[in-house]
Structure 1
Amino acid sequence: MTIHLDSQADLEDAITTLVKRDPRLKPVLQVAGMPALRRREPGFAGLAAIVCGQQLSTASAAAIWGRVSAAFEPFEHDAIKRARADRLARLGLSTAKIKTLKALAKELAAERLNLDVLAEEDADAAHATLTALHGIGPWTADIYLLFCLGHGDAWPAGDLAVQEAMRIGLGLKARPTVKQMAPLAEPWRPLRGAAAHLWWAYYHAVKRREGVIGDDKAAKVVAKKVTAKTPRARKSPSR
């Protein structure tokens, strides 16, 4: 059965289960605090927003998506399928992103793609379905599964922040590769998505407190201080 992270309570329950199952995560939670659940709009609009933000700063991505979504109200795949490429380009979309959005719209219109059912599929199978689509890479697939669908077992193996956080938190000699991330996360199935939220929170906590995420000694000092002062996990500051 697929586990969904639809509420803050769902995420907290999942992380509590993970910490009980894997004691290595207890100090990670003590440093990170309980992460806040972040969700995005599901469906074509949610996936399109992620595509628009590929390889852009948060501000640039928000600006372009704001123009695109405002130009098509309501934002539906049929409208994008019919839209002229030059109109989409004037809104700030690159040629590659226009091709990706039109390819997605075509698949949805032909009913060869159903984004809703991905929430119930095995995480790896859902990931494979998305990455088989034109212009949808692993990062886009992972972000959609985690934040748009709340898939409890989606695992962003290629995310650099998660990789670096695990290097520090698990005391690894080097940042794990994408290939190494799969076996490292195996003990956390079927809650790898919740583990990803925890590792992101840990990355930001260490970076915020020490300024340099790659400083192992600094990270250990932070962990000691938090463990000594905070016997129970604290909620992380809002981001």
Structure 2
Amino acid sequence: MSLPKTLAEDVARNLVMVAQLIDEEPEKAYGYSRVALRLASRVAAVREAAGFAAYANQKYSEALAEFRAAKRMTGSVEFWPVMADCERGMGRPERALAMAGEPEVQKLDKAGQVEMRLVAAGARRDMGQLDAAIVTLQSPELASSSVQPWTARLRYAYADALLAAGREDEAREWFAKAVEADKDGTTNASDRLAEMDGIEFVDAADESDTDADAGFIQEPSDSEESDDSEDDEDGDKA
């Protein structure tokens, strides 16, 4: 609303493209975010979009700068967990852990606090502190039987940490719980569970290629052979 109408429309189009492409084609999304940033760098929504586009392309230093700018403009702490994860991406897990203890975390909503817990656990793993990572993930949200938007990812992270620590039976149990909560397929928990159970999935296209390579050709039926023989005999008589 702070921009002239024509400029606002141009910026909006680029932001829409960022949203549409960021999951499947992050490099293209990043390009559109740079255009929007060049047009309206003083708009918080543009800095936010630029931050997420840079983050999706593992440009963590750039993403952190954009999220900091968005935070200054809006006064919101909602970017705090992803800012901490940028610190991890830049090889500074200790800074991510420090952010997990800052007052901003208490201002986050429940989803944000769970996200911050996931980042903190990841930072612990980055530092080789597997047991501490497991303890970090143990929370009322993990123990709850109700399924929330964050439940599958939280259970998956816990299962993965248990597996890394060699606690396979517990890991299998929590991968199974993650599958139960993961209705949208946001994790690959089902694949990890199948892998632990020794189940291997083969793509249908691969099976077709294998059959062709092996020379699986349908043999003619007895009736077809009979027809061929009769044709040969007719030819001889002619």
- After TM superposition, the score normalised by the length of structure 2 is 0.26
Bigger proportion of residues as helix? 2
Structure 1 or 2, whichever has the larger Rg, is 2
TM-score for the superposition, normalised by structure 1: 0.26
